[in-house]
Amino acid sequence: EYRITKPQGYNVSFHYNPAMEKHHFGQTHPMKPWRLTLTKSLVNAYGMNYAMDNYHPRAATFDELTTFHTKDYIDFLATVAPQPTPLDVDNPNPDLKFNLGGSDCPLFEGLYNYCSMSGGASLDAARKICNKQSDIAIAWGGGLHHAKKTEASGFCYVNDIVIAILQLLRVHARVLYIDIDVHHGDGVEEAFLSTDRVMTVSFHKYDPQVFFPGTGALEDNGPKNELNPGAHHAINVPLNDGITDEQYEWLFQTIISQVVAKFRPEAIALQCGADSLAGDRLGKFNLLVEGHGACVEYCKKLGIPMIMFGGGGYTPRNVARAWAYETAIAIGQHKNIPSEIPEHTSWRDRFRQTTLLPSIEEILGEPRTNKNTPKKLQDIVQHVSEQLRFVEQ
Ligand code: TV7
Ligand code: CA
Ligand code: ZN
């Protein structure tokens, strides 16, 4: 049996509510809460639980949820009756409010509990960062970056990230938000548009007429009015299909190093959406678990207190691999654990794959065509550098 011992003087906490997995968005819906259980079982199979502080956080209260969301919206979320998902996926129920009840954001049994548990875990993580009990706090059940102040969007009902960042801002002067989900982190960007205490950076596939949510162009850098303190504090990195580890890591490190030098964050909120991996059911990139994890490792090495959130990820076995590997990065053990998945999990029988770090052929068969030219990536870096010149030291 594997057992990893606690590192000295460095605390990683894991905030996980096992009741989240019992919730179902519907038979064919891509969001599968059981991927969280799969992640936890892989983390435990490697004995990583012994190297962290493990918390079963309580659900967030109404008052905690309304630090960001409106009372009207949360009231409705708490009282609305579950309804079966409409048969016609592109024809949401017109009677319902707040963008609820369509196929993306269905009303399922226990919805309010699911949302308040996700929010509760992320808020618990933020509190452990604020009181310095944790250097890194992990909340894989969070990362629901599309939820708006008074509206559900893109599988997200409660924006646990915004709620957690508001908590971080009680103690920390500046918080850097980084989002490596394949979708644009629009809800978090929008929530902090008018402050210079939060800088948001999202890497995402951008194809406005085709790919959700359609926002996040390179030129979108926050309010255009220079008198607004939030001007220049939104960074967007729009990408095309098939981006590789090498390109993504180069962009990530080049951009984040400049952002950190300029913005000097006191805390980092990192959304680790795993739909940017190769072989994702919704995503279009070619990232391997190693490339995705390299972004997490880069952030850890900055030595700034950090929350790691989950997010998207629609091929559950690869989501669990990425988040287990990134848990290993947080505890500094990723180079020590074997890629061969430990014997005693049901993993082998379920997936007939045995490695934590599969090759692209194992994940995909045929990799996607890479439509990101070196020139395009250079232009992105150029634009971001120019934007950062407007940010005051
Ligand atoms: C953070 N893409 C969330 C990402 C949210 C993406 C969308 C679906 C989808 C929904 C389903 C379903 C689906 C195969 C995929 C304009 C539409 C087109 C619904 C079919 N299959 C995150 C949200 C995105 C629901 N939405 O960033 C039930 O794909 O593109 C859209 C909107 C209208 C609704 N239709 C899609 O990763 C957690 N939805 C099957 C069943
Ligand atoms: Ca993103
Ligand atoms: Zn996503």
- Atom number in ligand 1 closest to CA 211: 30
Question: What kind and span of H or E run contains 139?
Answer: strand 136-139
How many whole angstroms from 298 Cα to the centroid of ligand 1? 30
Amino acid at 180: I
Residues of the chain with pLDDT > 70: what percent? 97
Rounded mean pLDDT, 109-130: 98
Nearest CA to ligand 1 atom 40: 29
pLDDT of residue 389: 97
Question: What kind and span of H or E run contains 160?
Answer: helix 160-168
Of 176-185, 229-238, 353-362, which range is least confident? 353-362
pLDDT of residue 392: 84
CA distances 55 to 21, 244, 324, Å, are 16, 35, 17
pLDDT over threshold 60, residue 92: no
Do the Cβ atoms of 185 and 177 come closer than 8 Å? Answer: yes
Catalytic one of 23, 146, 233, 334: 146
- pLDDT single digits (tens) 200-220: 999 999 999 999 999 999 999
Pocket of ligand 1 (CB under 6 A): 28-30, 89-90, 103-104, 144-146, 154-156, 181, 183, 212, 273, 275, 282, 311-312
Of 8-17, 64-73, 160-169, 346-355, which range is least confident? 346-355
How many whole angstroms from 254 Cα to the centroid of ligand 1? 31
How many whole angstroms from 291 Cα to the centroid of ligand 2? 15
Q: How many residues does the chain have?
A: 393
Mutate-to-test residue for ligand 1 from 20, 103, 146, highest number of ligand atoms within 8 A of CB: 103
User: Is 292 part of the annotated catalytic residue set?
Assistant: no
Mutate-to-test residue for ligand 1 from 282, 292, 319, highest number of ligand atoms within 8 A of CB: 282
- pLDDT single digits (tens) 140-170: 999 999 999 999 999 999 999 999 999 999 9
| Full set of structural domains in the chain with CATH | 12-388 (3.40.800.20)
pLDDT over threshold 80, residue 322: yes
The residue that leads in pLDDT, 13 or 84, is 13
Do the Cβ atoms of 319 and 35 come closer than 8 Å? Answer: yes
How many whole angstroms from 200 Cα to the centroid of ligand 2? 10
Does residue 249 sit in helix, strand or coil?
helix
ipTM of the complex: 0.98
pLDDT of residue 43: 97
Q: What is the mean pLDDT of the chain?
A: 95
Nearest CA to ligand 1 atom 1: 312
Rounded mean pLDDT, 163-179: 99
Question: What kind and span of H or E run contains 178?
Answer: strand 175-179
